[in-house]
Chain A
Amino acid sequence: MTMSITQQVITIAMVVLGTMLTRFLPFIVFPSNKPTPKYVQYLGRVLPSAVLGLLIIYCFKDVSLLSGSHGIPELIGVGMVALLHCWKKKMLLSIAGGTVTYMILVQLVFN
């Protein structure tokens, strides 16, 4: 290992600091004892749906459409989750069904 313990602690502290900055910044800039600007209130209402979309895409950031399995197992997995959820509306069933499908695909079909 190239780093000393102190350097390791500093590096980890920087990652903690960076993560906490991104989490606390909005609350520091718009404290609850002052009225939040109307534009930010509007963003607070519309951003949740948009950022959930971003989060789904974020899960696929390492999937390549042009090589490997072309994202097919991922697409089938998500399709399975959506299908099960629209049909039964049981959160655990949808998650378990989709995950098992995906695992079978990557372990046995697309390996």
Chain B
Amino acid sequence: MKTRKEIESACRAAFPYTFPILTGFVFLGIAYGIYMHSLGFSAIYPILMSLTIFAGSMEFVAANLLLVPFSPVSALFLTLMINARHLFYGISMLDTYKGLGKKKFYLIYGMCDESFSINCTVNIPKNVDKGWFMFFVTFFNHCYWGIGAAIGGIFGSLVRFNTEGLDFVMTALFVVIFIEQWMKEKKHHSALVGLGLSALSLIIFGGEHFIIPAMLMILTVLTFLRKPLEKIEVAA
């Protein structure tokens, strides 16, 4: 069967790209499970939350939301604010996720930072099915996160190895992907706008509130740069 072979080859091609995330997610997932354990939740909470929410930093926040007085509306708004960056991911992937049928739904559902950054920048080998490749990147990441959370939730109290700083693995992954993207593109306006304005926004507004102003500033500057940047595109 041709399709089965296609699926297998996409699965094999996708795995190496997710390997750094295997390390990062299993560790972060464990950290999340331990955290939930320390708050007094049984293992079923981190397992179900990691599989349904699947947005790393939001799940730590969600743990706190379960400990404060019941307020579903503020939970919704807080989530929208923290995860607003996904809107930019979606706009970036409108074209890439086009025409992928039912897989598209899962690809959007599982579009966490890590799945997005791989699927958005990777050069998929010509003989590999694009849809299945991106499906497996997303699916592997989803599994790592769920497995990590399960391990942490169940065995959380037994960990003795000093893991402080291990979460830097995710930062390192994003830096590598940023550099790869940088080397691929001829002009760096957009990368510099994103980096510079986000840093500026972080300095002005602080860690809790910087994302939305940063997104608005990026949008404004990129809109003003449209004419000159499109001129460069045409010339290139």
Contact = CB atoms under 8 A, between A and B. Distances in A.
Contact of B199 (A8, A26, A50, A57): A57
B interface: dominant SS:
helix
A51 to B, nearest CB: 5
Contacts of B77: 18
A3 B66 contact: yes
A77 B95 contact: no
Interface in B44-79: 48-49, 52-55, 58-59, 61-62, 65-70, 72-73, 75-79
Given A48-B121, A58-B198, A103-B165, A40 B94 contact: yes
Contacts of B214: 54, 57
In which size bucket is the chain B interface? 35 or more
Interface in A63-111: 73-74, 77-78, 81-82, 85-86, 91-92, 94-95, 98-99, 102-103, 105-107
A63 B222 CA distance: 27
A42 B232 CA distance: 13
20 contacts: A11-B72, A14-B76, A14-B79, A15-B59, A18-B75, A18-B77, A23-B108, A46-B190, A46-B229, A47-B222, A48-B92, A52-B191, A54-B211, A61-B207, A61-B210, A81-B172, A81-B175, A81-B176, A85-B176, A94-B172
Interface of A: 1-3, 7-8, 10-12, 14-27, 30, 32, 36, 39-62, 73-74, 77-78, 81-82, 85-86, 91-92, 94-95, 98-99, 102-103, 105-107
